[in-house]
Each structure stands twice: as C-alpha cells, then as structure tokens.
Amino acid sequence: MASLVLSIHSKNPELRKIEKVVEALHDGAVILYPTDTGFTLGCELSNKEAINRIRAIRKIPDSKAMTFLCNSLSNIAEFAKVSNTAYKTIKALIPGPYTFILPASKLVPKFAQDPKRNTAGIRVPENILSQLLLKENGAPIISISAKNDEVGPNSTPDDIVEIFSKHVDVAVRSDTYTFVGESSVINMTTDEFQIFRQGAGYEKLVNFLEEIEEEQ
C-alpha cells in the first residue's frame, strides 16, 4: 500500500504538516524522514510493533539495538546513564552526525536495546526539520538509515522516497537536503571511549577526545 507523501520545507517546516506526521507516529506509524546524515526510518521508541516493522524492512536482528534521536543533552540524560566525561563530550559535539552508545536507562524499552549489553545508540541531529519533529512529538524517534538492495550509490532523494514509500505509512520529503553521510559512532559505556565507526565529523571527534586526554 502506498504511503502518504508529505513535502515539508527544510528551513521553515510547516507546523501543520509536522503535526500530521506526529499524529501518525502517535497512531503507530512507520515513517521515512530526512536527518542530517540522510534519510532514515522512524517510529516512536515505545512502539514495539512499529520497531519490529522497521527491523523487518531493514532485516535487522533482535540482537541489535535501535538508534534513536533525542532533541537535547538533557533529553539524552533521561534515556541513558551519562558519565561526567561523556556529558562533557556530548555537549561539545551536539547537534551533529554522532551516534553515542550509552548504557540505557529504564525509559528505553528492552526491545529497543542491545539485549546483552543493555545499551542504546542515541543521536541529536543537526537538522531543522527533524528537530521540530522531535519537539512536537515530545519523545525520542527511532532513526535507522534507509538502505536496502534497491538503494545504490547513485540513488537520489526522490529515488529513496519512491523506494521506501512502499514500506512505510508516511514519507517526508523536502525542498533541499544537506546530507553529510553516515554518523561517527562512539562507545561511551566505559571511561575509555572507543570509536566504532569513522563517519561524518570524525576529525572534530578525535580532536576533542585528544583535548580531554591531555586534561586528565
């Protein structure tokens, strides 16, 4: 079944359209929406059925944690246990293309965590549209990159909307896109941070970690 496709302005998102997406999220929808790193699949963090649909679309096993978006550092601190060093690091890097692997708090459902490590991947996007979506939703939104066998290196944003509109309930497109590519992933579950993936913003991340090391 074809999804509802909404065109929302990237710099000045129309609130009535954002509210329409939020209403769909509250009703259990799976959505396609643009962030700073690219198009992602999303749903409410608390909705197990919708998360299972995203796992099926992307062929993600239950053993893998689901990344989700928060709108601020204080919001992250509600959904994860954040050490002093992690707090300082996250504060310096957000908003931006970084995924922080952190010990999950009790607010993160077990079905969205890494079941062995009880961790979660959390991001704060540098994107006006997705930030407003988070604000109006009032809760974190799952964010899993929109990739499958049909998406290739030459796929345009319109191609991705067309491909995934067959699998989601609402597809959000925009007038312009500023995608920086995959996020850098940093494991913050211990005091010795580990970079799991070198992605966008990697140089800034390394420079800041070196500064912290020099201070200690």
Which residue type does 164 have? F
Which is nearest to 147 in space by CA: 191, 99, 179, 174? 179
The token pair that represents 76 in the structure block: 């992250």
The token pair that represents 94 in the structure block: 């957000």
* pLDDT score, position 24: 98
Which is nearest to 66 in space by CA: 104, 28, 26, 27? 104
pLDDT band at 121 (very low <50, low <70, confident <90, very high): very high
Domain ranges of the chain: 4-215
| pTM exceeds cut of 0.85 | yes
Which residue type does 155 have? S
* pLDDT score, position 191: 87
- Tens of pLDDT, residue by residue over 5-19, are 999 999 999 999 999
Assign a CATH topology to domain 4-215. DHBP synthase (3.90.870)
